[in-house]
Amino acid sequence: MTYCLGVLLAEGLVLASDSRSNAGVDQIASVRKLNLMPPATDRVIAIQSAGNLATSQAVVTSLHEAFGSGDGARDLRLAKTMFEVAGIVGARLREVVAADEKFVEPYGDPNASFLVSGQILGEAPRLFQIYSAGNSIEATVRSPFLQIGETKYGKPILDRVLTASTPLNETARLVLLSFDATMRSNLSVGLPIDLLIYRGDSFSTANLVTVEDGDPYWNTLRRTYSQGLTALVSSLPPPPPAWGA
Amino acid sequence: MTYCLGVLLAEGLVLASDSRSNAGVDQIASVRKLNLMPPATDRVIAIQSAGNLATSQAVVTSLHEAFGSGDGARDLRLAKTMFEVAGIVGARLREVVAADEKFVEPYGDPNASFLVSGQILGEAPRLFQIYSAGNSIEATVRSPFLQIGETKYGKPILDRVLTASTPLNETARLVLLSFDATMRSNLSVGLPIDLLIYRGDSFSTANLVTVEDGDPYWNTLRRTYSQGLTALVSSLPPPPPAWGA
């Protein structure tokens, strides 16, 4: 399983992906699911992936190799907007699945899905989810975050607190807490977490960090939050006496 | 969809079920999914249900009608332990599914699952989950809560805060917050919530309450929690400066 989360904010983007890949009980590996296209001065493009690893790697690797090639159908260096980028990723996904599915289906699901985000000069940062069907939806101010993979455990804290105007650094806390909630409940989502805090108009991905087991900030955040949540629940008003508690 | 939650505590039990029943887009009804067997001085037995409504109602209604009948295979009045009660519910489920499944399957899933809980004189309160297969697992001090239906959204807050030694009235708050998290994310789980706070050795279900839309405690609890959570996240330590936030 996988958990990938992307948040579109007034200040930029916060992206995070776990690294657990498991194909049955005897194969558990650590895999990077947050991929960046090669550096370019006028664009930052990130692709987060979930689903069949062979499919998602074929899509991402072929786009990485085509970057700067001049091949109009695949070269994300030539895309004029992030919407065009999302369309190219979806088209590659359809091609890979069409080529592989009849061979893969006897063994499992060949499908994959993606979060595609970043910024192209002249646009604000944008964030898309590419469905297995190859079509896509875009995050907006009203729906500022998108998730793929094991999405449910980590959603309530985002629903309660996150808005498009939440600052980058507070969003980073929420994103990590959303991952912590998921990892406590589902062992197939695991550390390390790749985290990119992208400030709009910076066109820099220098901030990409990997949160490993034992990371001091990760440990402090989780402990402080759990203690604070326990204290918060204790401080809430008790039920009416007639309810019998 | 459905969400049912049962918690086994040192002080007793807290049970809650939503009331939304939907079979397709044009049929949404309110249904009681927390059922109590008839009153008896030496036992309290509650059955919470999820899954196919015809199946779950057939199981619960037939057991209700057989209560006190003297039919050893079905009469929960004669059961000596809650483990025996769980076995009878599982056996009824198997009978109902065996009788109906070939007729029902063309239209949908005939399966159901249950939380069975309560207390029989001479035992402490106990809580079981009955799987669709008719077998069961029991809650323990290490795993004090069991869920059926739409379980994921409401699980993180329980995982973080709840233990078997949490007091009844604090558990009631957590249970309602777990429902609030679920209902915010899944429209097919809806009010009213049936809530029973059962104090061990009371052999009384007089505290069964129905939390309706507009209930003042429900509204206060949700608002106070959301405000507190937002303040808590803001108070957490910010990420290291090198992370770029």
Q: Could you tell me where the DSSP H helices lie in chain B?
A: 53-66, 82-104, 155-161, 168-185, 216-235
* SS3 annotation, A67-119: CCCCCCCCCCCCCCCHHHHHHHHHHHHHHHHHHHHHHHCCCCCCCEEEEEEEE
A132 contacts A157 by C-beta, under 8 angstroms: no
B199 contact residues in A (CB cutoff 8 A): 244
CA dist., res. B238 & res. A129, Å (int) = 28
pLDDT 10s digits, B131-175: 999 999 999 999 999 999 999 999 999 999 999 999 999 999 999
Residues 6+ apart with CB under 8 A from B191: B18, B19, B183, B211, B212, B213
The pLDDT value given to residue B25: 53
Chain A nearest-CA residue for B11: A245
What's the Cα-to-Cα distance from B97 to each of A29, A83, B54, B59, rounded to whole Å?
41, 50, 10, 10
Can you state the percent helix, strand and coil of chain A, rounding each to 5?
35, 25, 40
Residues linked to residue A28 through DSSP beta bridges, in sequence order:
A22
Q: In chain B, positions 195-224, which contact chain A (CB-CB < 8 Å)?
A: 195, 197-199, 206-207, 209, 217, 220-221, 224
pLDDT of residue B186: 82
Q: Give yes or no for residue B200 having a pLDDT over 60.
A: yes
Closest-CA distance of chain A to residue B47, Å? 19
Q: For residue B22, what pLDDT is reported?
A: 66
Surface-to-core class of residue B176, CB atoms within 10 Å of its CB (0-12 exposed, 13-18 middle, 19+ buried): buried
- The strand order across the sheet containing B193-199 reads B145-149, B3-8, B12-17, B193-199, B209-211
Average pLDDT score over chain A: 94
Q: Tell the CATH superfamily of the B3-234 domain.
A: Aminohydrolase, N-terminal nucleophile (Ntn) domain (3.60.20.10)
Helix (H, G, I), strand (E, B) or coil at B102: helix
Whether the pLDDT of residue A27 is over 70: the answer is: no
Domain ranges for chain B: 3-234
User: Which 3 state secondary structure label does DSSP give A35?
Assistant: strand
Which residue among B156, B169, B226 sits closest to A245, beta carbon to beta carbon? B169
Rounded Cα gap, residues B85 and B96, in angstroms: 17
List CB contacts of A86: < 8 A, sequence separation 6 or more: A116, A128, A130, A136, A138
CATH 1.10.240.10 given to domain A3-233: no
Among B217, B117, B128, B227, residue whose Cα is nearest residue B173 = B217
Amino acid at B208: L
Mutation test of the interface with chain B: which of A188, A220, A229, choosing the one with the most B Cβ atoms within 10 A? A229
Torsional class of B149: left (φ above 0), alpha (ψ -120 to 50), beta (otherwise):
left
Report DSSP state, residue B144. -
Q: Which residues pair with A51 in a beta bridge?
A: A112
Instruction: Look at residue B189 and tell me whether its pLDDT is greater than 90.
Output: no
Residues of chain A neighbouring B156 (CB-CB closer than 8 A): 153-154, 156-157, 181, 184-185
- The label of the residue with tokens 């009978």 reads B95
pLDDT for the residue B170: 95
| pLDDT range class, residue B26, cuts 50, 70, 90 | low
- Choice between A204 and A28, residue whose per-residue pLDDT is larger: A204
CA distance B113 to chain A (A): 21
Identity at B27, one-letter amino acid code: Q
| DSSP letters spanning B5-43 | EEEE-SSEEEEEE--EEESSTT-EEE---EEEPPPBTTE
The pLDDT-based confidence of B23 (bands split at 50, 70, 90) is: low
How confident is residue A32, by pLDDT bands cut at 50, 70 and 90? confident
Q: Measured between alpha carbons, how far is A136 from A83 in angstroms, rounded to an integer?
A: 9
User: Which of A:86-105 have CB within 8 Å of B?
Assistant: none
Using an 8 Å Cβ cutoff, are A48 and A37 in contact? Answer: no
Q: Is B1 helix (H, G, I), strand (E, B) or coil?
A: coil
**Which amino acid, one-letter code, is at A127?**
L
Chain A residues lying within 8 Å of B159, measured CB to CB: 181, 184-185
If pLDDT is split at 50, 70 and 90, which confidence band does A190 have?
confident
Q: Is A160 on the interface with B (CB under 8 A)?
A: yes
Contacts of A170 (CB under 8 A, 6+ apart): B233, B234, B238
